[in-house]
Amino acid sequence: MKTETQKISWEQDGSQMALIPSGSFEMGDHFNEQNDAPVHKVGLKDFYMDVHPVTVGQFRNFVKVTKYKFTRWDEVEKHSPDDSHPMVYVSWYDAVRYAKWGRKRLPTEAEWEYAARGGLVGQRFPTGNRVSHDDANYQGTGGLDTWDQQTSPVKSFAPNGYGLYDTVGNVCEWCADWYDVNYYQKAPEKNPGGPATGKLRVLRGGSWTDEVGD
């Protein structure tokens, strides 16, 4: 499913953002993943989302401009070897600081899942009920996925229906929410923002270290 998506260029960090239209969807996993149950209806107002994960180049510029202290560049360069690859080894706090500098915010988990689905209804992935190495960068190689033990440059695979790239595989993405295994059972239907408190934050999307389809 492809939709006509309004896009804007965001001057602060040089990103391109897509307008995700308001709507409702069935949030959660119909395939009984424990962390994604029960399936429940969620309604969201419209919002903007970066069309691809933050790149090494974008984060490097943020560090340079703000003098932000980041100490894991050796690990980054091992798995994301140039500026076109997505940024890795960032904490939730690093992600929040980058977003605030860019005059943005992290998406809620509900916003992230709605955007990641790309408008598909009743499907497990943006590609349908299955995903392969032709669709995304997962552990190992095969098909269009030629990157072994590292990320792939952003936009290496086809976008979803909203024009977003890498919503499955490549790198996991931070959401604003605290994590609570029972939250889906009590989440409000309209614009849920996650639990009020917690110990862990939500990560979504899977990465190059995961098995295909995890």
pTM of the model: 0.92
- Count how many domains the chain has: 1
**What's the pLDDT score for residue 3?**
57
Nearest C-alpha neighbor of 140 from the set 213, 204, 195, 84: 213
Q: Are 146 and 134 in contact (CB under 8 A)?
A: no
pLDDT tens for each residue of 145-158: 899 899 999 999 99
171: domain range?
7-204
Write down the pLDDT at residue 81: 96
Let me know if residue 1 belongs to a domain: no
Task: Identify the band that residue 54 occupies on the pLDDT scale cut at 50, 70 and 90.
Answer: very high
Name the strand (E) or helix (H) holding 101. Answer: helix 92-101
Pairwise CA distance, residues 7 & 1, whole Å: 18
Among residues of the chain, what percentage have pLDDT more than 70? 93
pLDDT for 77 = 97
- Does 213 reside within a domain? no
Q: Does 15 map to a domain?
A: yes
Q: Does 37 reside within a domain?
A: yes
- For residue 10, the model assigns a pLDDT of 83
- Read off the CATH number of the domain in which 153 is found: 3.90.1580.10
Residue in 9, 26, 27 with CA at minimum distance from that of residue 18: 9
More confident residue, 104 or 124: 104
Q: Is residue 2 part of a domain?
A: no
Average pLDDT, the chain: 92
Q: Is a pLDDT exceeding 80 seen at residue 33?
A: no
Q: Is residue 25 part of a domain?
A: yes
**166: in domain:** yes
What average pLDDT does range 199-214 have in this prediction? 89
Task: Provide the pLDDT for residue 32.
Answer: 60
Q: In whole angstroms, give the CA distance from residue 194 to residue 43.
A: 14
Whether residue 130 lies inside any domain: the answer is yes
**Which pLDDT band, with edges at 50, 70 and 90, does 213 fall under?**
low
> Residue 1 above 70 pLDDT?
no
